[in-house]
Amino acid sequence: MILFALRCARGHHFEGWFGDGNGFEAQRKAGEISWPECGETKVQKAVMAPRLGKSPHRIGRLAVGLGVVENPDETT
Domain range annotation of the chain: 1-45, 50-76
pLDDT lower than 50: segments of the chain: 75
> For the whole model, what pTM was predicted?
0.58
Q: What pLDDT shows up at residue 54? A: 54
Q: What pLDDT shows up at residue 56? A: 56
Q: What pLDDT shows up at residue 72? A: 54
Q: What pLDDT shows up at residue 21? A: 87
* N-terminal to C-terminal alpha carbon distance within the chain: 30
